[in-house]
Amino acid sequence: MALTITPFPEIGLDCPDFTLPSVEGKTYSLKDFAKGKPLVVMFICNHCPYVKAIEDRLITLGSDLKKMDVSVVAICSNDEEANKEDRFENLKKRWQEKHYSFPYLHDKTQEVAKTFGALCTPDFFVYDKNHKLAYRGRLDDSWKDESRVNRRELFDAVKLLAEGKAAPQQQTPSMGCSIKWI
């Protein structure tokens, strides 16, 4: 497991377009997530210990943001041959078992991850109502131990964006396992 930390974000970049299959049998594109509300795009996977440590919090985040009419989408871009847990059928199984509250997409060619500049799992990209990058930081202030979370940094940033305010300029990078490239 190689620890990777996301770089300082280039705030204001447009959300890249994408078209990917989901484990639920649909295909999603950027156009499926209407402008006018923030959009959260997270790169996750099934095998990463960093993702596993926050998985239940991701599900809660998805549910909490759904109540605010904010879209959340997860993408797995790992090389499925290198990590069998990250194969499409295993992504679907995990999505069903854990009752993910958001679509889980598969980026088999890894082109979408490259277009976004995703580096690790988890890697979070939050776009404002105009689909401009507003936040690329960590989920919260305690990746390993949920009982020690004092600040839900990503949720708080989305809440500000949903209220028409700016996301915090100070953003702590996310960290996790590097994406397993083909």
List, as one string, the DSSP characters of 146-165: GGG----HHHHHHHHHHTTP
How many whole angstroms separate alpha carbon 123 and alpha carbon 177?
A: 10
- Which residues is 28 bridged to in the sheet? 20
The pLDDT value recorded for residue 6 is 81
The pLDDT value recorded for residue 113 is 98
On whether the CB atoms of residues 122 and 42 are closer than 8 A, the answer is yes
Helices within the chain (DSSP H only)? 49-67, 88-98, 111-116, 153-162
**59 exposed, middle or buried (CB, 10 Å; 0-12, 13-18, 19+)?**
middle
Q: What are the distances in angstroms from CA 3 to CA 48, 49, 81, 136, 181?
A: 11, 11, 21, 17, 15
How many whole angstroms separate alpha carbon 131 and alpha carbon 58?
A: 21
- Which residues is 127 bridged to in the sheet? 39, 133
How many whole angstroms separate alpha carbon 100 and alpha carbon 58?
A: 8
Mean pLDDT by 10 residues, the chain (182 residues): 76 97 98 94 97 97 97 97 96 98 97 96 98 97 94 98 96 95 94
The pLDDT value recorded for residue 7 is 79
The pLDDT value recorded for residue 2 is 65
On whether the CB atoms of residues 171 and 44 are closer than 8 A, the answer is no
The correct CATH number of 3-15+36-178 out of 3.40.50.1450, 3.40.50.10140, 3.40.30.10, 3.40.50.920 is 3.40.30.10
The pLDDT value recorded for residue 1 is 55
